Protein backbone atom coordinates (compact mmCIF):
# COMPACT_ATOMS: atom_id res chain seq x y z
CA UNK A 1 0.00 0.00 0.00
CA UNK A 2 1.41 3.43 -0.90
CA UNK A 3 1.95 5.98 1.82
CA UNK A 4 -0.13 9.17 2.03
CA UNK A 5 1.57 12.29 0.67
CA UNK A 6 3.87 14.10 3.09
CA UNK A 7 1.76 17.27 3.08
CA UNK A 8 -1.39 15.27 3.88
CA UNK A 9 0.32 13.63 6.82
CA UNK A 10 1.49 17.04 8.09
CA UNK A 11 -2.07 18.39 7.73
CA UNK A 12 -3.65 15.45 9.57
CA UNK A 13 -1.08 15.71 12.38
CA UNK A 14 -1.58 19.49 12.66
CA UNK A 15 -5.34 19.00 12.92
CA UNK A 16 -4.92 16.48 15.72
CA UNK A 17 -2.47 18.72 17.60
CA UNK A 18 -4.63 21.77 17.11
CA UNK A 19 -7.77 20.01 18.39
CA UNK A 20 -5.89 19.14 21.58
CA UNK A 21 -4.80 22.78 21.97
CA UNK A 22 -8.33 24.05 21.42
CA UNK A 23 -9.52 21.75 24.18
CA UNK A 24 -6.63 22.61 26.51
CA UNK A 25 -7.00 26.36 26.23
CA UNK A 26 -10.35 26.11 28.05
CA UNK A 27 -8.62 24.80 31.16
CA UNK A 28 -5.49 26.92 30.92
CA UNK A 29 -6.06 28.34 34.43
CA UNK A 30 -5.48 24.92 36.01
CA UNK A 31 -2.40 24.00 33.99
CA UNK A 32 0.77 22.89 35.66
CA UNK A 33 3.34 25.32 34.24
CA UNK A 34 6.98 24.32 34.45
CA UNK A 35 10.03 26.44 33.70
CA UNK A 36 12.83 25.29 31.41
CA UNK A 37 14.74 28.50 32.23
CA UNK A 38 14.06 31.89 33.82
CA UNK A 39 11.69 32.92 31.01
CA UNK A 40 11.17 29.65 29.18
CA UNK A 41 7.91 27.90 29.97
CA UNK A 42 6.54 24.50 29.13
CA UNK A 43 3.17 23.01 30.02
CA UNK A 44 1.83 19.48 30.08
CA UNK A 45 -0.03 20.55 26.93
CA UNK A 46 3.21 21.23 25.01
CA UNK A 47 4.32 17.69 25.81
CA UNK A 48 0.99 16.07 25.03
CA UNK A 49 0.62 17.85 21.68
CA UNK A 50 4.18 16.93 20.74
CA UNK A 51 3.53 13.27 21.60
CA UNK A 52 0.29 12.97 19.64
CA UNK A 53 1.59 14.83 16.59
CA UNK A 54 4.72 12.69 16.33
CA UNK A 55 2.69 9.54 17.05
CA UNK A 56 0.45 10.35 14.07
CA UNK A 57 3.36 11.08 11.71
CA UNK A 58 5.16 7.92 12.80
CA UNK A 59 2.18 5.81 11.72
CA UNK A 60 3.22 6.62 8.14
CA UNK A 61 6.87 7.72 8.24
CA UNK A 62 8.53 6.05 11.27
CA UNK A 63 11.88 5.84 9.48
CA UNK A 64 12.34 9.64 9.32
CA UNK A 65 14.16 11.86 11.83
CA UNK A 66 12.14 13.81 14.39
CA UNK A 67 13.08 17.09 16.05
CA UNK A 68 10.68 18.48 18.63
CA UNK A 69 10.97 21.40 21.02
CA UNK A 70 10.12 19.22 24.01
CA UNK A 71 11.50 15.79 23.12
CA UNK A 72 14.72 16.72 21.30
CA UNK A 73 16.23 15.02 18.28
CA UNK A 74 15.49 11.42 17.23
CA UNK A 75 17.98 10.58 14.50
CA UNK A 76 17.14 7.60 12.29
CA UNK A 77 19.67 7.88 9.49
CA UNK A 78 17.22 9.54 7.10
CA UNK A 79 17.68 12.71 5.00
CA UNK A 80 14.19 13.83 6.07
CA UNK A 81 13.40 15.49 9.41
CA UNK A 82 10.03 16.45 10.86
CA UNK A 83 10.50 19.64 12.90
CA UNK A 84 7.76 20.38 15.42
CA UNK A 85 6.85 23.18 17.76
CA UNK A 86 3.74 21.88 19.57
CA UNK A 87 2.87 25.35 20.86
CA UNK A 88 4.58 28.31 19.26
CA UNK A 89 3.64 31.15 21.57
CA UNK A 90 3.59 29.25 24.85
CA UNK A 91 3.78 32.48 26.86
CA UNK A 92 0.62 33.74 25.12
CA UNK A 93 -1.04 30.38 25.73
CA UNK A 94 -0.25 30.40 29.45
CA UNK A 95 -1.50 33.97 29.81
CA UNK A 96 -4.73 33.28 27.94
CA UNK A 97 -3.73 35.52 25.02
CA UNK A 98 -5.38 33.86 22.01
CA UNK A 99 -2.41 33.90 19.67
CA UNK A 100 -0.40 30.69 19.36
CA UNK A 101 -0.03 27.82 16.93
CA UNK A 102 1.09 24.29 16.16
CA UNK A 103 3.99 24.44 13.71
CA UNK A 104 5.13 21.42 11.67
CA UNK A 105 7.98 21.70 9.19
CA UNK A 106 9.55 18.98 7.08
CA UNK A 107 13.18 19.43 6.04
CA UNK A 108 15.03 17.43 3.40
CA UNK A 109 18.81 17.65 3.74
CA UNK A 110 18.26 20.55 6.15
CA UNK A 111 16.07 22.58 3.80
CA UNK A 112 12.35 23.10 4.57
CA UNK A 113 10.12 21.58 1.89
CA UNK A 114 6.77 21.47 3.70
CA UNK A 115 5.24 23.74 6.33
CA UNK A 116 1.94 23.62 8.20
CA UNK A 117 0.94 26.15 10.86
CA UNK A 118 -2.42 25.89 12.61
CA UNK A 119 -3.90 28.63 14.80
CA UNK A 120 -6.65 26.79 16.71
CA UNK A 121 -8.19 29.90 18.21
CA UNK A 122 -8.85 31.63 14.88
CA UNK A 123 -9.23 28.36 13.02
CA UNK A 124 -6.64 29.40 10.45
CA UNK A 125 -4.51 26.80 8.72
CA UNK A 126 -1.49 27.94 6.72
CA UNK A 127 0.44 25.46 4.60
CA UNK A 128 2.91 25.17 1.74
CA UNK A 129 4.87 22.62 -0.19
CA UNK A 130 8.02 23.44 -2.16
CA UNK A 131 7.12 24.43 -5.71
CA UNK A 132 3.38 24.26 -5.11
CA UNK A 133 2.52 27.63 -3.54
CA UNK A 134 1.09 28.57 -0.16
CA UNK A 135 -2.47 28.42 1.17
CA UNK A 136 -4.54 29.69 4.06
CA UNK A 137 -7.68 27.65 4.65
CA UNK A 138 -7.37 26.31 1.11
CA UNK A 139 -7.10 29.77 -0.50
CA UNK A 140 -3.92 30.83 -2.26
CA UNK A 141 -1.92 33.47 -0.33
CA UNK A 142 0.78 35.93 -1.39
CA UNK A 143 3.09 38.31 0.42
CA UNK A 144 2.07 41.99 0.44
CA UNK A 145 3.41 44.21 -2.33
CA UNK A 146 4.41 47.05 0.00
CA UNK A 147 7.54 48.70 -1.44
CA UNK A 148 8.31 51.30 1.16
CA UNK A 149 9.68 50.99 4.67
CA UNK A 150 7.63 54.09 5.50
CA UNK A 151 4.34 52.32 4.99
CA UNK A 152 5.42 48.83 6.08
CA UNK A 153 3.98 47.10 9.14
CA UNK A 154 6.63 44.83 10.69
CA UNK A 155 6.31 42.02 13.18
CA UNK A 156 9.28 41.30 15.42
CA UNK A 157 10.30 39.45 18.56
CA UNK A 158 12.30 40.65 21.54
CA UNK A 159 15.28 38.43 22.44
CA UNK A 160 15.05 36.68 25.78
CA UNK A 161 18.30 37.39 27.54
CA UNK A 162 21.17 39.82 27.38
CA UNK A 163 23.51 37.46 25.57
CA UNK A 164 20.83 36.74 22.99
CA UNK A 165 21.50 39.62 20.60
CA UNK A 166 19.87 42.33 22.72
CA UNK A 167 22.36 44.98 21.43
CA UNK A 168 21.79 44.03 17.81
CA UNK A 169 18.06 43.89 18.40
CA UNK A 170 18.01 47.45 19.82
CA UNK A 171 20.06 48.61 16.81
CA UNK A 172 17.65 47.02 14.31
CA UNK A 173 14.69 48.56 16.14
CA UNK A 174 16.35 51.98 16.28
CA UNK A 175 17.29 51.82 12.59
CA UNK A 176 13.78 50.99 11.46
CA UNK A 177 12.25 53.58 13.78
CA UNK A 178 14.71 56.22 12.53
CA UNK A 179 13.69 55.25 8.98
CA UNK A 180 10.13 56.10 10.02
CA UNK A 181 8.79 52.64 9.27
CA UNK A 182 5.01 52.37 9.17
CA UNK A 183 4.39 50.42 12.35
CA UNK A 184 5.80 47.60 14.49
CA UNK A 185 3.98 44.72 16.20
CA UNK A 186 5.19 42.14 18.71
CA UNK A 187 2.68 39.30 18.56
CA UNK A 188 4.51 36.46 20.36
CA UNK A 189 4.43 33.53 17.92
CA UNK A 190 7.22 33.56 15.34
CA UNK A 191 5.46 30.84 13.33
CA UNK A 192 2.33 33.00 13.03
CA UNK A 193 4.44 36.11 12.31
CA UNK A 194 5.85 34.27 9.29
CA UNK A 195 2.40 33.02 8.28
CA UNK A 196 1.19 36.63 8.48
CA UNK A 197 4.02 37.80 6.21
CA UNK A 198 3.07 35.03 3.77
CA UNK A 199 -0.55 36.13 3.76
CA UNK A 200 0.23 39.86 3.47
CA UNK A 201 -1.05 40.82 6.92
CA UNK A 202 2.46 41.84 7.92
CA UNK A 203 4.84 43.37 5.39
CA UNK A 204 7.92 42.04 7.14
CA UNK A 205 9.19 40.24 10.23
CA UNK A 206 12.52 39.94 11.99
CA UNK A 207 13.73 38.24 15.13
CA UNK A 208 17.01 36.97 16.61
CA UNK A 209 17.95 33.72 18.25
CA UNK A 210 14.97 31.57 17.39
CA UNK A 211 15.04 27.78 17.16
CA UNK A 212 14.52 25.80 13.95
CA UNK A 213 11.15 24.51 15.20
CA UNK A 214 9.90 28.14 15.47
CA UNK A 215 10.72 28.98 11.84
CA UNK A 216 11.09 25.85 9.64
CA UNK A 217 7.41 25.70 8.66
CA UNK A 218 6.95 29.48 8.41
CA UNK A 219 9.97 30.02 6.18
CA UNK A 220 8.79 27.65 3.43
CA UNK A 221 5.30 29.19 3.64
CA UNK A 222 6.78 32.69 3.08
CA UNK A 223 8.97 31.49 0.20
CA UNK A 224 6.04 29.74 -1.47
CA UNK A 225 3.94 32.89 -1.03
CA UNK A 226 6.48 34.76 -3.14
CA UNK A 227 8.50 36.30 -0.31
CA UNK A 228 12.13 36.10 0.69
CA UNK A 229 13.70 34.79 3.90
CA UNK A 230 17.27 35.20 5.10
CA UNK A 231 19.19 36.10 8.22
CA UNK A 232 19.81 39.80 8.86
CA UNK A 233 22.97 39.77 6.71
CA UNK A 234 21.04 38.26 3.79
CA UNK A 235 22.60 34.81 4.28
CA UNK A 236 20.39 31.75 3.83
CA UNK A 237 21.76 30.22 7.01
CA UNK A 238 18.79 31.45 9.09
CA UNK A 239 17.60 28.02 10.18
CA UNK A 240 20.89 27.33 11.91
CA UNK A 241 21.51 30.84 13.31
CA UNK A 242 17.87 31.46 14.25
CA UNK A 243 18.23 35.09 13.10
CA UNK A 244 15.57 35.77 10.53
CA UNK A 245 14.18 38.48 8.28
CA UNK A 246 11.18 37.81 6.01
CA UNK A 247 9.43 40.19 3.60
CA UNK A 248 8.62 40.64 -0.06
CA UNK A 249 11.74 40.87 -2.26
CA UNK A 250 11.83 44.67 -2.62
CA UNK A 251 11.18 45.44 1.01
CA UNK A 252 13.58 42.71 2.11
CA UNK A 253 16.40 44.31 0.08
CA UNK A 254 15.70 47.79 1.50
CA UNK A 255 15.66 46.48 5.07
CA UNK A 256 18.86 44.43 4.66
CA UNK A 257 20.62 47.47 3.15
CA UNK A 258 19.60 49.57 6.14
CA UNK A 259 20.33 47.01 8.82
CA UNK A 260 23.53 45.49 7.51
CA UNK A 261 25.87 48.24 8.65
CA UNK A 262 24.56 47.96 12.22
CA UNK A 263 25.26 44.27 12.57
CA UNK A 264 28.55 42.44 12.93
Q: Shortest distance, CB of residue 207 to ligand 2AM, whole angstroms?
A: 6
Residue from 172, 175, 189, 230 binding ligand 2AM (CB under 6 A): 189
Measured CA to CA, the distance from residue 259 to residue 96 in angstroms comes to 34
Residue from 112, 155, 157, 204 binding ligand 2AM (CB under 6 A): 157
Of residues 40 and 257, the one with the C-beta less far from ligand 2AM:
40
Measured CA to CA, the distance from residue 13 to residue 36 in angstroms comes to 25
189 binds, among ligand 2AM, Ca ion, none (CB under 5 to 8 A by kind): ligand 2AM
89: contact with ligand 2AM by CB under 6 A: yes
Nearest to 263 by CA among 231, 228, 233: 233
Question: How many residues at the interface with ligand 2AM, by CB under 6 A?
Answer: 17
Q: Shortest distance, CB of residue 63 to ligand 2AM, whole angstroms?
A: 27
227: contact with ligand 2AM by CB under 6 A: no
Question: Do 143 and 200 touch, CB atoms closer than 8 A?
Answer: yes
Of residues 208 and 228, the one with the C-beta less far from ligand 2AM:
208
Long-range contacts of 178-182 (CB under 8 A, 24+ apart): 179/149, 179/150, 179/258, 180/149, 180/150, 181/149, 181/150, 181/152, 181/154, 182/149, 182/150, 182/151, 182/152, 182/153, 182/154
168: contact with ligand 2AM by CB under 6 A: no
Positions in 67-86 near ligand 2AM (CB under 6 A): 69, 85
17: contact with ligand 2AM by CB under 6 A: no
Residue from 70, 88, 119, 129 binding ligand 2AM (CB under 6 A): 88
Positions in 55-84 near Ca ion (CB under 5 A): 69
85: contact with Ca ion by CB under 5 A: yes
168 binds, among ligand 2AM, Ca ion, none (CB under 5 to 8 A by kind): none
Residues that bind Ca ion (CB under 5 A): 69, 85, 87, 90
Amino acid sequence: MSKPALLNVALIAANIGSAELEFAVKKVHVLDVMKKGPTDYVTEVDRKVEDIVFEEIKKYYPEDNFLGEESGHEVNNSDTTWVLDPIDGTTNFIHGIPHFSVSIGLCKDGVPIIGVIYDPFKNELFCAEKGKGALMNEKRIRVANCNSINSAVFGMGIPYSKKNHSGEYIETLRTLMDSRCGSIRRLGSAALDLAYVASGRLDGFWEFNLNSWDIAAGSIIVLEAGGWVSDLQNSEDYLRSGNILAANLNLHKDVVDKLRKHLV
